[in-house]
Every structure is written in C-alpha cells, then in structure tokens.
Amino acid sequence: MAHVRKVPRLRARGGYAWQVRYRDPDRVERSRTFPTRDQADRFARKVEVSKDGGTYLDPSLGKTLFGEWAKEWLESVEPGLKPSTLSGYRTLLRKHIDPAFGHAPLAKIRPIDVRRFVAQLSNAGMSASRLRSTYFLTQAIFRAAVDSGYIGQSPCLGVKLPRPVVREMQFLHAEQVRAVADSIPERYRALICLLAYGGLRWGEAAGLRRKRVNLL
C-alpha cells in the first residue's frame, strides 16, 4: 500500500516536500517526491489503482531513449521484413526520425513534439507519400512501446498528414507505341509491345521467360 510522508527539502531550497513510498507489482520498493501533499496523495491513489487494474508501468522503462528502443524494435521485426522494406526503415530512422527523437526519453515525447516533427518535414519539402511513410514508421515504434509497457500512451495523436497528390495517368496511343518500337533495336521491339499491350510491370516483364509464353 502506498503511503505518504513529509520529508525535508534540499538545503538550497529549504522547507518540506511530500514523498510517496510504494512497492511495484514485483515487490520492489520505490519512491517519488512531490512539492505538495495533494499531488502526493493523487499519485499514491493512481499507483494503487494501476496495480489493481494491471496497468502499472515501471517508471524506469519510460526513461529509455527513443533511439535505443527503436533499435530494439527494429531487431525484433527484422526477421519478418523484406530486405527492401528493412532498408527503407533504416534509412527513414537514420535520416529523419532518430535525429528528431533519438536522444529523448520515451515518456518525455509529447503529441506536440510529433506534430511539430511532421510539420517540419512538410515545410522542408518532403513529398506527401514519403512523409506518410516516415510518420507511420514513427507511429509503429511508439505503438510497440505502449504494447511492451514502456509508456502508457502513444504521442502520435491528432496528427494531420498531407494527402498524396494524385496525378492523372498518361497513356500512349497505338501510333506512339509503334513509333517507340520502331526507334529501338529490333530485338527489343517485342518487349515494347508486351509492356504496352500486356499491361505488365517492368519487374514482371524482366522476369518473363520464353517457356512461360504460350504463343497460341
């Protein structure tokens, strides 16, 4: 059971403060000091309610630096990611996310910090699609921190993201396709027609083999 007691302040300040002493769910004794009795009483009640409800958070976990947690999180999800996805995550972390939050404790990062981060990237000219990728990766890292009991709530709240610009697709008509095919070496002309009329993406066309084609 948490209990509150009056304790002397540091000599430089003088007077008294109020200390809450309690045991966490692992029976480890902890304490926290507040300037007023009201704050101490509210914290003591909150601790007991969280212990009874199974929502208690170890305060030391919230002091973990974002950069350390992001590295641990990335190592945990790495086996399930494609090499290209993993490379993209590492690039976003190194270039954008870690410089903004890497040296901050998880529990100290507020929603306003995340909103400011998104606004700065947008003002710097980052494309809407890349900005969304950066934000969603940041959001996933914080969500995992909540799920693992490092913080009680993600700071990724109330963030408005710019909408990707949808550009109208342009298509070649038959005469233009024929002009392109006629302007390149003959050995590649069939490829041009396949891309234009078969609707294959480049990776699909590059991976196509003769034995997979049924000319009938």
Q: What pLDDT sits at residue 6?
A: 78
Q: Are residues 76 and 135 in the same domain?
A: yes
Strand stretches in the chain, DSSP E: 3-8, 16-23, 29-34
Indicate whether 136 belongs to any domain: yes
Domain count, the chain: 3
d(CA 66, CA 142): 9
Inter-residue contact 57 to 50 (CB < 8 Å)? yes
| % of residues, the chain, pLDDT over 70 | 94
**32, part of any domain:** yes
Per the structure block, which two tokens stand in for 178?
């024929």
pLDDT at 177: 92
Domain of 14, in residue numbers: 3-56
Q: Which residue's structure tokens are 């000319």?
A: 215
Q: Is the pLDDT of residue 179 over 70?
A: yes
- Same domain, residue pair 125 and 93: yes
- pLDDT tens column, 51-110: 676 666 677 778 899 999 999 999 999 888 899 999 999 999 999 999 999 999 999 999
pLDDT one-digit tens code per residue, 16-36: 887 778 777 667 777 778 788
Residues 47, 83: one domain? no
> Are 50 and 71 in the same domain?
no
Say whether both 47 and 80 belong to one domain.
no
What's residue 170's pLDDT? 85
Is residue 12 over pLDDT 60? no
- Which of 98, 129, 147 is the endpoint of a domain? 147
Residue 82 forms part of a structural domain: yes
Give the end of a domain, one of 11, 32, 56: 56
Tokens 């507040």 belong to: 34
pTM beyond cutoff 0.75: no
